[in-house]
Amino acid sequence: MTDIGDIKQVVEEMIPFDLFLGMKVEEARQGHARIRLPYRPEFIGDPRRPALHGGIISTLIDTCGGTAVWASCDVKDRVATIDLRVDYLRPVPPADVIAVGEVKLLGNRVGNASVRVFSVEDDTVTLAEGRGVYNIRKA
């Protein structure tokens, strides 16, 4: 089983893009992950609203879903995205954003996770939802 410290270290310090974005793993355990994306003004996609860029949200969903699957595997296993679907439900305000991922199906070679995204300002309002399918390569 993968350890939360291992996951935190890889996501927060070893994956260059996640490090650049500043993602923080708040929780990771078998079948579950919670990741925070701290707000930065550079994340704005539509300054007229303002709202965060959809690409930032899809990246957060992908990372969270993959982390939930990886947390169900061995730390030495490799997890890669096969397919990702994102539903943008509401504009994401300029604030920290949280993604919570839950594994729906886990096999020997493939994992499937659902992810919910909300703002720290109101955790009752779902801003986006996503579903990811991930390839698992055993070490």
pLDDT tens by residue, 58-71 = 999 999 999 999 99
Q: Which domain covers residue 41, as residue numbers?
A: 4-137
- Which pLDDT does position 139 carry in this prediction? 87
CATH number of the domain encompassing residue 59: 3.10.129.10
Mean residue pLDDT of the chain comes to 94
How far apart CA 112 and CA 83 sit, in angstroms, is 9
Look up the pTM and report it: 0.95
Question: How many independent structural domains does the chain possess?
Answer: 1
Contact (Cβ atoms closer than 8 angstroms) between residue 104 and residue 95 = no
How many other CB atoms sit within 10 Å of the CB of residue 125?
A: 11
pLDDT at 30 over 70: yes
Tokens coding 20 = 């650049």
What H or E segment, with its residue span, contains residue 9? helix 4-9
The pLDDT of residue 69 is: 97
